[in-house]
Amino acid sequence: MTTFWILIALFVLASLALIWFPHFRQQKMLQTEEAGVRRSTNLELFTERLSVLEKEVSEELLDQAEFDALKQELEISLLQDMKQGDDESLVNKVKPKSVAWPAVMSAVILGISGYMYSTLGAYENLDQPMAANQPHAGMDTAQIMSQRVQMMEAQAQAEPENSQLWFSLGHTYISANRYDDAIKAFDKTMELVGVQAELLGPKATALYYRSNQQMTPAVQALIDQSLALDDSDPSTLLLVGMDSFFSAEYQTAIDAWQLILDSERKDVDRSAIINAIDSAKMRMESDGDMPNDDAHKNVTPKTVTIEVSISPELQAQVASTDMLFIFARSTEGPKVPLAATKVSAESLPATITLDDSTNMGGNVKLSDAKAVEVIAVLSKHGSVKPQAGDIQGKLSMLKVGDTGQLILDTQVQ
C-alpha cells in the first residue's frame, strides 16, 4: 500500500511540473527577449546618429572637435539607455500569462484525481486486512470444510500410496458428514497397511454416524474386531463410551473411557475424557432415586427438557446431513449459554434434556438459573451461528425443572 501511494504522489508531482515548468520558462524567456529588444534598438539609434555625425564631418559642416564632443555624448547616452529598466517606448510589448492559469490547471488535476479514485478506487478497503493473509476470508464453515476436502482429495489422487493421507482424509470426511466416503478412505488405508485397530475404530465411527447414531450389528462387529486386536484402542473405546452415554448407560460409558485413561496413551485428550467421565457421573446422580423425606420430596430437578419439532411448512427443507444445535441461556444477567448439545436432524422430533452435564465450561451453570431462554438452530453449515437457509426456533422463557415445546418455524434469510 505504501508503494501505491508513492506512485500516486509521483504521478501528481509530474503532472504539476508539466503545468508550472512552462509557465516559469515563459516568464524567463519574455524577460530575456525584452532585454534583447532594448539593446538592439539602442545600438541602432547610436549607429544611425553616429553615421549622421560622420557625414557632417565629411561635408565640413562640423570640425573634428565638435564631432568628438558629439560622439562622446552619444556614447554616454547609449550607456545610460543600456542601464535603464523597462523601455517605455516599446509599444508592442508582450504580456506574460497570469499565474492564475497554472493554478487553475493544478486544481483541476487534483480534483479529477480525487474524483476518479473515489469513484473507481477501493479506498474503503484500506483498513481491511490483505486477502493473502486470510485465505478463508468471506467463507463460512461449510465452504472452508469443502475447500479443505478438495485439497486433500487432490493430494490423495497425486499420492495414492500415502496411507497417512488417506487416514487423515477419512477423518476429514467424518467432519464433513460424508460418512460413505470416510468408510472408503479407511478401507483404502487398510489396503495399504493392513487391518489395524486404530483403523477399524474410525471406520466403525463413520458407520455409526451413517446409521443415525445407532449401534447396528455391522458397527458392533467392527468394534468387536477392533478390541480383539487392541482392547485399549482410543477411537473404539470413545465410540463405545459415547453410545453408552447417549443410551443412558452411564457406568458402561465411564468404564470405557476409564480404560483409555488407564492405557497411559499420549495421543488422547485426557482432560476431555475426564470431563466426559464427570458428566456421566453427574447424570448418574441426577437419575438416581431421591429419598422420600421432607428434605427431598419437594426438590425440583435442575434440568430443562425440550420437546423439539419442526413446522410442517419447513419439513421439506430438512436434509439428512443437517445438525440441530440447542442451547439455553439465563433470562437474567449476561446472555451466555449455560448448557448446549447437538443431535442429528434425522432424530426429529426429539426430546432433549439440558443440565449441568451439558455445561459449556463456564463458571455459571444451568442449576444456578431460575429460568432460561432456549434457542435451537437447525444448521446446514455445521455452525451454531444462524446462516442463510438455516431453520431456527426459540422459547423466550422456560423455568428450570419444567418441560417445554419448541417448534422450528423460522427460516433464516
Residue 127 lies in a domain: no
Pair (156, 246) in one structural domain: yes
- How many structural domains compose the chain? 3
Residue 128 lies in a domain: no
Pair (28, 96) in one structural domain: yes
Q: Which residue type is seen at 76? A: I
Residue 407 lies in a domain: yes
Q: Which of 333, 334, 353, 355 is closest to 404 using CA atoms?
A: 353
Residue/partner pairs of 341-345 with CB below 8 Å, 24 or more apart: 342/384, 344/209, 344/212, 344/213, 344/320, 345/318, 345/319, 345/320, 345/321, 345/378
Residue 134 lies in a domain: no
Residue at which a domain ends, from 120, 151, 180: 120
Q: Would you say how long the chain is, in residues?
A: 413
What is residue 161's three-state secondary structure? Answer: coil
Pair (207, 342) in one structural domain: no
Pair (280, 327) in one structural domain: no
Residue 383 lies in a domain: yes
Residue 391 lies in a domain: yes
Digitized pLDDT (tens) for each residue of the chain, 413 residues in all: 567 667 677 777 777 777 777 767 766 665 665 555 566 666 777 777 778 777 777 777 777 777 777 777 777 776 766 565 444 444 444 455 566 767 777 777 777 777 666 666 555 555 454 444 455 555 666 677 788 889 999 999 999 999 999 999 998 898 888 899 999 999 999 999 999 999 999 999 999 988 888 899 999 999 999 999 999 899 999 999 989 888 888 899 999 999 988 887 777 777 778 878 888 888 787 665 444 444 444 444 578 888 888 888 888 888 888 888 898 888 887 777 888 888 888 878 888 888 877 776 566 778 888 889 999 999 888 777 788 888 989 988 888 888 888 888 888 88
Residues of the domain holding 238? 141-287
Pair (145, 243) in one structural domain: yes
pTM for this one?
Answer: 0.45
Compute CA 353 distance to the chain's CA centroid, rounded to the nearest angstrom. 36
Looking up residue 241, the CATH number of its domain turns out to be: 1.25.40.10
Residue 125 lies in a domain: no
User: Is the CB of residue 260 less than 8 Å from the CB of residue 240?
Assistant: no
Pair (310, 230) in one structural domain: no
Residue 299 lies in a domain: no
